[in-house]
Structure 1
């Protein structure tokens, strides 16, 4: 069975993904083992530190880990473009082993200054790894595998962070905890390096690049380049906002647990576990919900969930707890606390749905020669937004807000940011409407869509059964499709927003509006010359009886003007569904005969341009559709 047939979990057995996945997961795990062990050591293990000293070192640790992202990300992005990536990863993992050996020295000496320096080096290693981490995936995975690959990486990363944090704290609390931590971080670093040796080669994407060692000017240059692709820029800002929201949210969780839930540290661990599992579940759901393609329609769905359950969390427990020191077992016995757990789980799930498509979008929409540098710029913005989250929390809490009120403000800010982003790039909202419409009304089985070329111009032709045929095809074909459609369908309210955003081409009959017809043919020719895929319904009108009508010769005129391959397609089982003329929703206010219909979308091998004729294409589509209207 191929990787494609097995889905995202099949990648775990593929050499082009599995060694990288293990390397990345072990790295995230090891970082958090050491970081939390260091926090426990500072808080409980070093004699002579006053409470002020403890606060100083805890905040200094957070700052020292994040500082390298500002200092070195821009350079790391350039290095990732210029050199072969698998060798870079192995070099970075060797650097991790050195860092962990230094950590052992710091633990033996009990020197806080030394350990703070080690933490800075760990942040540096993470900053170097970040651009390689996301830019290597598009070189090893097919486009339809990117969502699944990113989902596995994000799910494993959050779970590794959780497990590493828990293990680091637990080991440090044991007798001879420093020795246990020393052994663990070194062994895991060595295992990570051994896993990295299995990563296949990934050639440099810009081998002639001259590295600019000035982080300020290079960072500014990266941001300027991102501005040339608005969708990528907004995706980067969307990811950074997620880290702002997540950092503000998670940083308040311990105090929220203590003050509002009355729980102890075991309840904090329980809540973090539930939230992390939610992120993992949401990430893994992305592939199933997106149909193996980069479906940015899931991003608005994710942002809606983040806001709804962020607001719901406020109402779950807005007041201070009447009791304190409640353990996890007692916490779970109270039914009222289950509401908080569900809110956290669903917040995590929608967070996963939000973040995975954005990373995949950056990987697919950015130029390969600049991808690592864009990801480096993204990492810098992520760090900046996380620092901003800490400052906003400090300001709002000092202004008198309670923690539940702060979380409520964050959820409402999330809604405002979402509206702002989707107003700037309506493609996000358009894809969400398409995704919601199709998956609410239909269950779709797809066959032969691999016949549609991955690159270059092509025309697809299909039978015309319903008002939403273009949405069904466009929502399931990996490449963007510019559909030619009857102008009255193009103007249907709500659907018109979707069609305009997808750059559909309205057309009218020669007797209705000859100028619009000629403009449509000119637009089709320009789209094909630009390398786009154009979708045509050669019948010229929706079927009134479920049968395929005669294909009109307009398709022959298109191919004569711009010779490109033509892919025959057929929709099966759509007649009688809500948007077909059998249940004409434009004229009849009644329930459809069939809801959540099972339909099929079938494609055949491309027809060369020199063999295209309307009659032959009609025969091919009839054969594809068969007896299932």
Structure 2
């Protein structure tokens, strides 16, 4: 954790490096939705004000045209926007985008004054264009202004702000469109909020160009394909993009069908639609804001599977919770919630949103963290393109399943929930790191309560060897769950080969080892792999005792650590585990894994000591240091 700043994510709202940016993006999304939804409301309920302009076009076609015009710019301009965001200073780009928004809103006021529907639709296209240019710089600037341990909290605020802006903008757009002199009030509002957004943007600190020498290509098709291929260079990043896009597929499907679901199935009036939209949006906000606490201030992709499991469970429950109403009249908000079963629908919508927030926030943080800075904005632009494609496919699936196949909306929701389960299994089997981190997360938050001390003493980069006492079969998992960097563990081959745990160890690229007498080839190969990992700047962890303790005391440290450091002189980080002796995975009272677990949620401490430079390393000294770190508690 960076010095002299509070750990709570809410502390970000006191920082100039985050608050102006957060307000800028919030008011931008809010304004987009005021304009978009007020226009949809006018087309739906007051289309006569546009006179002969709509004589031969139905309301449904106009609404679909509006949606298409807003999404189209993401296909056309995202690649260009990503290049610009990497090439130029980002705070200046944001201010220019906000000036463009003011100009667009002034033009919209003119279109409202003259009731020119086609100009309003073109302005919707321009709003989509402005959003397409803002998207890459929005996510690329976050890692430049926030520390690594703030990325999850920062992204949580952004996602919460986005969905609350959608909610408030939708409500405000409907209210403004229902007023007398609606066009005047809409015009005033969108201009005022565009100006407020620009004022906020002026306080955003500088974010230097990531790739100032980049040559910009103007071909939208070839550039879109190039940046998508660039995103695919990292398998975990690309799968994260696909997972985020799948969430937008789900979100678009739920939000698109929500009005018809409420009116046709639940027989609820407009107030009920708003309450369900509010439940979904608030759920997203709560789930997003929970990520930082659940992840312990680090990018913890182990909570992503929890999100996907929740999306499926409560998506399926929504199907069973929905009780079609036979009411001839649409039910008001009060009348609708007189039925207890309808509260379950509201709860399901909230929890679908909540687990959606858990699902996407770590993925955004992972993309930002694992993508090189010089083309980070372009990868985020690729994410925006794929997101848009999935949203279009979502609309087509709605037409196919409901309009062609004849499914009810509730059946369509059930299909979405089951598809989510299938896709989750595919993603986690393709990128097993997600499953590995999920298992580690479950272990460290069910059987154990893990507390770390001085974990920031582990260097952020560069090679190093961690040495630690060896108490249980899950020592490596607990250390992996605590460290903020990937660690290559060297472990006794019989432990490496344990069922279930072997899957995790293989995914983590653990290095199996035996004694020279048992298997000289495995012994020599282990040292070669250790040296190779250190030369590549990785962290390697060894347990110098070479075996689990059988009495709780630290066994003699073997001389293998001296051999490693002699070959590759790198710093050594001493660590100690405390509180594991007596657990199910330790040898206390008999062989590990053979006793009935006597306790759950045990307190375990992981203590990190000061770095020891290679010239000061000896097995005896390291044993003494680790023993002092562990103290008297076993």
> What TM-score, normalized by structure 1, do the two folds share?
0.98
Shift of 1:506: 0.7
Q: Paired residue for 2:581, among 575, 581, 589?
A: 575
Residue 21 (str. 1) matches residue 22 (str. 2): yes
1:46 to partner: Cα distance: 3.3
Q: How far apart are residue 530 of structure 1 and its match?
A: 0.7
Q: Counterpart of 2:230 in 1: which secondary structure?
A: helix
Which of the numbers 167, 170, 175 marks the counterpart of 2:175? 170
> For the residues of structure 1 that align with 2:285 and 2:591, how far apart are their CA atoms?
40
Name 1:235's counterpart in structure 2.
Answer: 240
Once the two structures are TM-superposed, the CA of residue 337 in structure 1 deviates from its matched residue by: 1.0
Indicate the residue corresponding to 2:151 in structure 1.
Answer: 146
Aligned-partner SS, 1:228: coil
Question: Secondary structure of the residue that 2:210 maps to in structure 1?
Answer: coil
Contact 2:584 2:593 in 1 (8 A): no
User: Aligned residue for 1:515?
Assistant: 521
Deviations 1:230-255 (A, max 9, x none): 11111111111111111112111111
Q: Cα–Cα, structure 1 residues 353 and 26, in superposed 2: closer, same or farther, change >3 Å? A: same
Give the aligned partner of residue 551 of structure 1. 557
Could you give the per-residue CA deviations for residues 150-195 of structure 1, whole angstroms, max 9, x where no partner exists? 0111011101110111011112212222222111111111111111
Give the CA deviation at 1:42: 1.3
1:74 aligns with 2:75: no
Contact 2:585 2:593 in 1 (8 A): no
Shift of 1:583: 5.9
Task: Show the counterpart of 2:89.
Answer: 84
Q: List runs of 5+ in structure 2 lacking aligned partners.
A: none
Please report how far the alpha carbon of residue 302 of structure 1 lies from its aligned counterpart in structure 2 after TM superposition. 1.0
In the TM superposition, 1:439-588 aligns within 5 A as 439-582=445-588, 586-588=592-594
| SS, match of residue 604 in structure 2 | strand
Deviation, structure 1 residue 486: 0.8
Structure 2 distance, partners of 1:487, 1:479, is 23
Shift of 1:45: 2.4
One of 54, 63, 66 as aligned partner of 1:58? 63
Aligned residue pairs, count: 628
**Shift in alpha-carbon separation, 1:396–1:519, aligned structure 2, 3 A:** same
> Gapped runs of 5+ residues in structure 1?
none
Distance 1:255 1:522 in 2: 63
Q: Measure how far apart 1:332 and its partner are.
A: 2.0
- CA-based RMSD of the aligned residues comes to 1.5
Deviations 1:454-489 (A, max 9, x none): 111111111111111110110111100000111111
Q: Distance in 1 between matches of 2:148 and 2:606?
A: 20
- Cross-structure match for 1:160: 165
Q: Is the 8 A contact 1:459 1:565 kept in 2?
A: yes
Shift of 1:424: 1.2
Q: Is the 8 A contact 2:140 2:380 kept in 1?
A: yes
> Is 2:262 aligned against 1:261?
no
Shift of 1:293: 1.1
Moved over 6 A (4+): none
State the distance in 2 between where 1:292 and 1:379 align.
26
Q: How far, CA to CA, are the matches of 1:347 and 1:616 in structure 2?
A: 53
Length-normalised TM-score, structure 2: 0.97
Could you tell me which residue of structure 2 aligns to residue 346 of structure 1? 351
Mean alpha-carbon deviation: is it higher for 247-256 or for 78-87? Answer: 247-256
Q: CA deviation at 1:320?
A: 5.4
Is residue 74–residue 388 contact of structure 2 (8 Å, CA) maintained in 1?
yes
Equivalent residue number for residue 430 of structure 2: 424
Paired position in structure 1 for 2:8: 7
**Matches of 1:382 and 1:275 in 2, distance apart?**
19
> What's the secondary structure of 2:293's corresponding residue?
helix
Change (3 A) 1:156 1:583: farther
1:582 aligned counterpart, secondary structure: coil
Structure 2 CA distance for partners of 1:622 and 1:210, relative to 1, 3 Å: same
Secondary structure of the residue aligned to 1:599 is strand
